[in-house]
Amino acid sequence: MPIVVRYLNDSNQECTLRPTPFISVSSNINKLGGGDAIGTTYSITLTGTILESQGFPYARDVNGNLFLGEGSADLSSGGVIVGPYESFDSTVGHSDYYRPPVQVVPWNYKLDAILFKQKVIRALFAKDGQRLEISPVHGDAPAIVCFPRVVGVNFAEGNYVERCEYTINLEADTLLDKDLNVHHDGNPLNLEHDAVYNYDLGVQVDESGLMKTGAILDYKDPSTGNPKPGEFVNAVSEDWSIEVDESRGENLDHPRSYRISHNMNATGKTHYYPDPLDSNNILKKPAWEGARDFVQNRLLPPDTNIASYPNVMTQIGSGTLNLISAYGGYNHVRTEQVGVTEGTYGVTENWLISSGTAYENYSMSISSDLGTPFVTVSLDGTIAGLSAISPSGSDYGGLGPNYVPSGAYDNALLKYHDVSNTGQFGLTSDIYARANRAVAVQLNSQPTSVSLGLNEFNGEITYALAFDNRPLNIISGVLSENISINDTYPGDVMAIIPVIGRATGPVLQYIGGRTEYKRDLSIELIMDYTDIPYDSGRNSLLLMKPSTNEPTRTQLRTLIKELSPEKEPGIRKYFISPPSESWTPKEGRYSFNLSWIYELDK
């Protein structure tokens, strides 16, 4: 049963160990603490004996010369000398019919011979991933092929005169047959996925369940037929945690939110496999890449249904918080940790778990002043949108061909429109309702001032508003209105006669009679943006005047009629002084002034 090592994976340097060492192969199923299998590691132990004058490798003296064979035969002639320090003959030693020739080692060179052979064996197993074959004695076709990692080479203590015992410990992730088909006895991921593990992406499974020759390490999921990267790990850790997000407020309108964090880390194993284009060329899959494939294949994929993403309730929350139907995951962030030299890979994920797509914090203050009859309620708030974009979404550099997410700013804007009645406020506005509940008077549903701050980069909208309990506007569609009424009542009619030198001033003489009744009306309006002309010309500037457009025209006429002396009791007659109006079209300011002189019957 020859043991053949392909030195440096060169097909022309096949080195056979003789005497053939004993071989032990054990399967170690890698299991997590919970009992789940994450693959298999094959431990291979070669227990052999070095003889100073027999077997391979050949012995050389301290000057590097081969010891001669029996009958002074030159062993370097007629054969193909290969391997480290040119100490193996690739033409002999593969079976009992081709035993290596016996060397003649003088008694005083036996130690040199054994120490040299130790050096050769150390050099032969100094590199990981070299092709190792275990072959039967009936021919050269190997029964087992693998590309192991070298764990250690140990030589037993002794006087090293005639022999030396040695032990070589190897480990491999897969065992192959002569055609490089993988043995299915505990391959990584087969136990969990019932997948076909193979070395070829482009071939089909035969009736025996084996894949035909190839070399790329991969496996196919029978349910989808999609290939996935091979995973070779020997340690995995995963944990979930959930906690209340104390930075966000809580009330009936805004239930508390939570933060979920997820950590997954893996330690991989360096794996060697044949090139699909040239089976003599052995490729290396670094340990960190195997760990990366393991972790990435188990990360929760983005879901187009925001309410179910992240679907973590099977891991955490079920039965304790019961957030399955009411909450969704947002602001998903992933960070990677790659330990190239350590062969590790880890991902940390964080979500904000919320019952809505945005959250709002606000503060309220109430003030009153003896100089004004109105109570003022001020609100300052911040609306922060929650992002439904996955870390691999198009906004973050990924492709995301079928995923149309909503960003943080979009959701913040939707929230603001919702609480502010699309910026119109009014009785149905949530912001107005909050302010109105805070005081005992009825507030005007239109704020006296509005200030907005927009931060698209952070997905935030800030607002500052003030409400008071001023009466509702009479004229519709105006931002503000001011109505001033000035009544002048009758007084005495007198003559004022100046007298030169009179110390007490002029002489006042009542001449009989009374002055007239008089009423002055002033109306001032500030129109909203819909009445601001953005063009020039008569139509845009003059005909946009409120007194020429309905319904303002009729409302003004009705208001003026209500305030005229015509409604006064005992009115006998009244006259109208020339009215005047002022219109500043580019500012939307309008004023109307009118005076009446009237007479009562008493």
Q: Tell the burial category of 372 from Cβ atoms under 10 Å away from its Cβ (0-12, 13-18, 19+).
A: exposed
Residue with tokens 């500012």: 587
Q: Letter for the amino acid at 118?
A: Q
212 Cβ contact list (under 8 Å, min separation 6): 179, 181, 200, 203, 206
* ω into 19 cis (within 30 of 0): yes
Q: Which of 143, 348, 353, 389 is closest to 257 using CA atoms?
A: 353
Separation of CA 175 from chain center: 39
382, β-bridge pairs: 361, 462
Would you state the pLDDT for residue 393?
A: 55
How many C-beta atoms lie closer than 10 Å to residue 359's C-beta? 26
DSSP state of 435: H
602 Cβ contact list (under 8 Å, min separation 6): 570
Q: Which of 270, 334, 325 is closest to 302 using CA atoms?
A: 334
Would you state the pLDDT for residue 355?
A: 78
Q: Which of 283, 274, 280 is closest to 182 using CA atoms?
A: 274
How many Å apart are CA 213 and CA 176, to the nearest integer? 10
Q: Six-digit token pair at 85?
A: 């320090």
Q: Letter for the amino acid at 602?
A: K
Q: Which of 33, 105, 28, 34 is closest to 66 using CA atoms?
A: 105
DSSP-derived 3-state class of residue 248:
coil
> Are 294 and 234 a contacting pair, CB within 8 Å?
no
How many Å apart are CA 185 and CA 415, to the nearest integer? 57
Q: Letter for the amino acid at 370?
A: L
* Number of helices followed by number of strands (H, E) in the chain: 7, 30
DSSP-derived 3-state class of residue 258:
strand
Helix (H) or strand (E) holding 360: strand 358-368
Instruction: Divide the 602 residues of the chain into consecutive groups of 10 and give the mean pLDDT of each group.
Output: 89 91 91 79 95 92 89 81 92 67 91 95 95 81 91 94 94 88 56 36 37 37 45 86 76 71 91 82 90 84 47 58 66 89 92 81 91 93 84 52 64 92 90 93 91 91 94 86 93 91 90 90 89 82 88 92 89 92 91 94 80
How many Å apart are CA 155 and CA 527, to the nearest integer? 99
How many Å apart are CA 279 and CA 272, to the nearest integer? 12
Would you state the pLDDT for residue 71?
A: 79
How many Å apart are CA 342 and CA 109, to the nearest integer? 44
How many Å apart are CA 335 and CA 263, to the nearest integer? 10
Establish how many alpha carbons lie within 13 A of residue 601's alpha carbon, considering only the half-sphere containing its beta carbon.
6
Reduced 3-state DSSP string for 365-397: EEEECCCCCCEEEEEEEEEEECCCCCCCCHHHC
Q: Measure the N-to-C terminal CA separation of the chain; round to a whole number of Å.
A: 139
Q: What share of the chain is helix, strand, coil (3-state, %, to 5)?
A: 15, 40, 45
Q: Letter for the amino acid at 379?
A: L
DSSP state of 551: T
DSSP state of 419: H
Beta-strand relationship, 132-134 and 3-6: antiparallel
Task: Identify the sign of the CA torsion 321, 323, 326, 332.
Answer: positive
Residue with tokens 């010891």: 67
Query: The sheet that has 375-385: what strands, in order across it?
Result: 358-368, 375-385, 460-468, 449-455
How many C-beta atoms lie closer than 10 Å to residue 391's C-beta? 17
Would you state the pLDDT for residue 583?
A: 92
Residue with tokens 């004993």: 22
DSSP state of 424: T
